[in-house]
């Protein structure tokens, strides 16, 4: 089955402006655990409501109940899901990686050269902290550590505000695919290792240095396709 295609951060628009100052981190990234599933479902439900207020039909078919729980648990068990945790140990954001989605990416795209980013969601309470931008930067660094060329996304075709958000962060539109059974298909990519906020890197554990320099050391399976 193809990996989930919707990628969305329900926070206020982030500019990705480069900062000349380091901020003291109050949140950090860690691999998602089974006990995070209720919080992840809450993030998803909140995102669905937020999207409706923005006038987009993205995620208009809510994922609830056992199906949603099973998908989150599979991502967690396979080491593909992460959460951003705040100073009170609350889950503020999530992101996953996954295999290439063959509904969209072709052999001549050289799928093995990219890391595929999915399910980026930021809690409304974390709006304004640039968490979406910082998570994407971490994934970009991970892609570079793996020797990949690109970070790739596919998003809802009709969500032009989301397209503009990613373009502000340096993603370039590759093309739009429109298979009849999918609502996603706006394809974009950004060079691996490219950072929008190099002075505010997201640490991977609360014990890590302020510059997040060891963010790539988290143990996780390398993507093979």
Please state the pTM of the whole predicted model.
0.77
- Of 166, 172, 162, 91, whose CA–CA distance to 124 is shortest? 91
Task: Quote the pLDDT of residue 46.
Answer: 80
Task: Quote the pLDDT of residue 60.
Answer: 54
Residue 142: Cβ within 10 Å count: 23
- Of 132, 122, 116, whose CA–CA distance to 4 is shortest? 116
Residue 220: Cβ within 10 Å count: 14
Residue 57, CB half-sphere, CA atoms under 13 Å: how many? 6
Torsion angles phi and psi, residue 162, rounded to 5: -70, -40
Task: Quote the pLDDT of residue 128.
Answer: 82
Quote the CA–CA distance of 155 and 31 in Å, as a whole number: 23
3-state secondary structure the chain: CCCCCCCCCCCCCCCCCCCCCCCCCCCEEEECCHHHHHHHHHHHHHHHHHHHHCCCCCCCCCCCHHHHHHHHHHHHHCCCEEEEECCCCCEEEEEEEECCCCCCCCHHHCHHHEEEEEEEEECHHHCCCCHHHHHHHHHHHHHHHCCCCEEEEEEECCCHHHHHHHHHCCCEEEEECCCCCCCEEEEEEEECCCCCCCCCCCCCCCCCCCCCCCHHHCCCCCCCC
Task: Quote the pLDDT of residue 220.
Answer: 44
pLDDT tens for the chain, 225 residues: list them.
Answer: 333 333 344 343 344 443 434 445 578 999 999 999 889 888 887 876 666 666 565 555 555 456 767 877 888 999 999 999 998 889 999 999 999 999 999 999 999 999 999 989 888 887 888 999 999 999 999 999 999 999 999 998 888 888 999 999 999 999 999 999 888 899 999 999 999 999 999 999 744 433 344 444 444 444 444
Q: Are 151 and 143 in contact (CB under 8 A)?
A: yes
Task: Quote the pLDDT of residue 66.
Answer: 67
């Amino acid at each position: 089955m193809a990996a989930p295609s919707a990628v969305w951060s329900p926070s206020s628009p982030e500019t990705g402006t480069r900062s000349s100052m380091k901020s003291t981190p109050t949140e950090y990234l860690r691999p998602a655990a089974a006990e995070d599933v209720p919080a992840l479902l809450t993030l998803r439900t909140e995102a669905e409501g937020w999207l409706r207020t923005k006038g987009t039909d993205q995620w208009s078919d809510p994922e609830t109940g056992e199906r949603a729980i099973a998908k989150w648990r599979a991502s967690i068990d396979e080491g593909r899901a992460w959460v951003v945790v705040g100073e009170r140990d609350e889950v503020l954001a999530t992101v996953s990686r996954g295999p290439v989605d063959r509904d969209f990416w072709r052999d001549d795209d050289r799928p093995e050269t990219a890391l595929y980013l999915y399910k980026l969601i930021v809690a409304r309470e974390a709006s304004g902290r640039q968490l979406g931008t910082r998570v994407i930067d971490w994934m970009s660094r991970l892609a570079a550590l793996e020797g990949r060329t690109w970070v790739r996304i596919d998003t809802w075709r009709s969500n032009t505000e989301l397209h503009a958000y990613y373009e502000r962060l340096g993603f370039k539109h590759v093309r739009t695919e429109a298979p009849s059974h999918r609502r996603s298909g706006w394809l974009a990519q950004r060079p691996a290792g490219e950072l929008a906020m190099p002075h505010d890197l997201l640490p991977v554990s609360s014990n890590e240095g302020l510059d997040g320099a060891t963010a790539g050391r988290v143990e996780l399976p390398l993507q093979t396709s």
